[in-house]
Amino acid sequence: MEKLLIVDDDKGIQKQLKWSLSDYDVVLAGDRETALAAVRRHEPKVITLDLGLPPDEANASEGLAALQEILTIAPHTKVIVITGNDDRTNALAAISAGAYDFYQKPIETDVINVIVARAFSVAAIEEENRKMRAVAGSDIGIIGNSESIERLRMMVKRIAPTGITALLLGESGTGKEVTANAVHLASDRKKKPFIAINCASIPETLLESELFGFEKGAFTGAHRTTKGKIECAEGGTLFLDEIGDMPYSLQAKLLRFLQEKSIERLGGRQEILVDVRVVCATNQNLEQMVADKTFREDLFYRVSEITLNIPPLRDRDEDVIILSQYFLQHYAIEYKRNVKSFSEDALSAIKSHKWPGNIRELQNKVKSSVIMTTGTQVTAIDLGFLEHQDKSFELSLNLRVVREQAESIAIQKAYALSEGNMSKAADLLGVTRPTLYSLIEKYELKINA
Ligand SMILES: Nc1ncnc2c1ncn2[C@@H]1O[C@H](COP(=O)(O)OP(=O)(O)OP(=O)(O)O)[C@@H](O)[C@H]1O
């Protein structure tokens, strides 16, 4: 039941309103102070407020003061001001002070119910919109509302226009590339390319040509002159992921590029001027690598003009729900599924799960659940939180029951993992497609097969 605060000093009216608005969990207050305490304690989304409160029952000064204070501590609350039937002036003063609506006595049950219900639904829509705006995280794509992510977003926005070389530190899957891209999007380079290259995933021998490009005939197989990633990022941003894996032999060349803003293609003699902003990332201890002489000190200082730490997901619980909601919307659009939200049990399972630092586990779970669910809501089972299965599964000693339930879970899991592809799911389960269909029918699984 929704909490509704009724502020009125007249016990008779309190009673009448409470009775009329019996669909709500009503909290009563008779004066400004009690009303404010109730707002803090119960956080009602809707309040009815009589303007004639003690000690100024005959006028509206106390009611208007209460309105102002309520909106200061809870600005999104919908306050419906209740006035005497000839008190339009104060009603309008209350509206211009931020009240949502006004209602003139006498109380009519039908009418007040319509007004209050509409206030709750406007409050819910506005809340949803606020959440969506937070999910959109911003124009720069870093989702999250934890303090550390807010700080990261703020730093990204500050450094983006400066051209300073940032070093992003964080475990795998914590959002280093997302952050590098945010630096790009928040800069005036955003209309030019953002190019990411993972120094660890490209063999040492290829990395140089990949970055700097090559001239025709530079080596066997160099049939035509080819631009490297640096040139391709002209005007934009180059993200060098796993910079700690940059071979020592290439580090001097990279440093020259960073200092001189010019490059030479492999086999080339000509200096090519480039205008590229560089963002680097690593999860290695570069300072230790400098001490061990596996990373050049001059390069280290050049790439780490500013360092941004990206905290692992396990240290920012507040972001888990908002990221889940973001992924749900994202994959619902990508896979054209009419999935709108998480069920209550899904939300509590997400909240209580121990997430690792890497965001990908959360992302994959939400992705497969969006594909998996048959309704508009993702449930805990869709997310693969099997402990939310029917309790009889844990308790049953009947082997047939145990086997059937295990089979039905395995089918749902395979279906999720294969992203709804029945042939793949059948392969994973080691059965034929017709067998899979008959098992789905047998267990009455809600799968869009
Ligand atoms: N703050 C965030 N907002 C939205 N999506 C995020 C965020 N952080 C991470 N992700 C998502 O999580 C996944 C991993 O993020 P990303 O690739 O940026 O991490 P990474 O630290 O660069 O990983 P790796 O070290 O493995 O390269 C991506 O799919 C990304 O979209």
- DSSP labels, 275-308: --EEEEEESS-HHHHHHTTSS-HHHHHHHTSEEE
Judgement on whether residues 91 and 117 belong to the same structural domain of the protein: yes
Q: Measured in angstroms, how far is the CA atom of residue 174 from the centroid of ligand 1?
A: 5
Q: Measured in angstroms, how far is the CA atom of residue 396 from the centroid of ligand 1?
A: 41
Query: What are phi and psi for residue 172, nearest 5 degrees?
Result: -65, 135
Pocket test for ligand 1, best of 359, 365, 366 (most atoms within 8 A of CB): 359
Q: Measured in angstroms, how far is the CA atom of residue 439 from the centroid of ligand 1?
A: 37
Domain for residue 105, yes or no?
yes
- Domain closes at, from 311, 345, 379: 311
Task: State the pLDDT at residue 424.
Answer: 86
Judgement on whether residues 419 and 298 belong to the same structural domain of the protein: no
Enter the pTM of the model.
Answer: 0.63
Domain for residue 142, yes or no?
no
Judgement on whether residues 227 and 303 belong to the same structural domain of the protein: yes
Task: State the pLDDT at residue 375.
Answer: 82
Q: Looking at this protein, which amino acid is placed at residue 233?
A: A
Query: What are phi and psi for residue 437, nearest 5 degrees?
Result: -60, -40
- Domain closes at, from 254, 281, 311: 311
Asked whether the CA dihedral 410, 414, 420, 425 is positive or negative, the reply is: negative
The CATH number of the domain holding residue 301 is: 3.40.50.300
The burial of 267, by beta-carbon neighbours within 10 Å (0-12 exposed, 13-18 middle, 19 or more buried), is given as middle
Judgement on whether residues 195 and 251 belong to the same structural domain of the protein: yes
The CATH number of the domain holding residue 409 is: 1.10.8.60
Domain for residue 139, yes or no?
no
Task: State the pLDDT at residue 311.
Answer: 93
Domain for residue 402, yes or no?
yes
Domain for residue 449, yes or no?
no
- Domain closes at, from 85, 110, 134: 134
Domain for residue 448, yes or no?
no
The CATH number of the domain holding residue 81 is: 3.40.50.2300
Q: How many folded domains does the chain comprise?
A: 3
Nearest CA to ligand 1 atom 4: 143
CA 99 to CA 50: how far, in whole Å?
A: 12
Q: Measured in angstroms, how far is the CA atom of residue 183 from the centroid of ligand 1?
A: 14
**Pocket (CB within 6 angstroms of ligand 1):** 142-144, 170, 172-178, 241, 359-360, 363
Point out the ligand 1 atom lying closest to the alpha carbon of residue 174: 21
Task: State the pLDDT at residue 134.
Answer: 58
Task: State the pLDDT at residue 136.
Answer: 52
Q: Measured in angstroms, how far is the CA atom of residue 347 from the centroid of ligand 1?
A: 22
Give the burial string for 399-428 (b: 16+ CB within 10 Å, else e).
eeeeebbeebbebbbbbbbbebebeebbeb
Please state, in angstroms and as integers, the Cα–Cα distance from residue 41 to each residue in 30, 35, 37, 62, 166, following that order: 16, 10, 6, 21, 44
Structure tokens at 180: 């590098």
Domain for residue 85, yes or no?
yes
Judgement on whether residues 342 and 436 belong to the same structural domain of the protein: yes
Judgement on whether residues 197 and 254 belong to the same structural domain of the protein: yes
Domain for residue 7, yes or no?
yes
> Which DSSP state fits 164?
P
Nearest CA to ligand 1 atom 12: 359
For residue 47, give its domain range: 3-134
Judgement on whether residues 372 and 390 belong to the same structural domain of the protein: yes
Positions in the chain short of pLDDT 70 = 130-138, 386-397, 446-449
Query: What are phi and psi for residue 26, nearest 5 degrees?
Result: -85, 135
Judgement on whether residues 47 and 29 belong to the same structural domain of the protein: yes
Task: State the pLDDT at residue 388.
Answer: 42
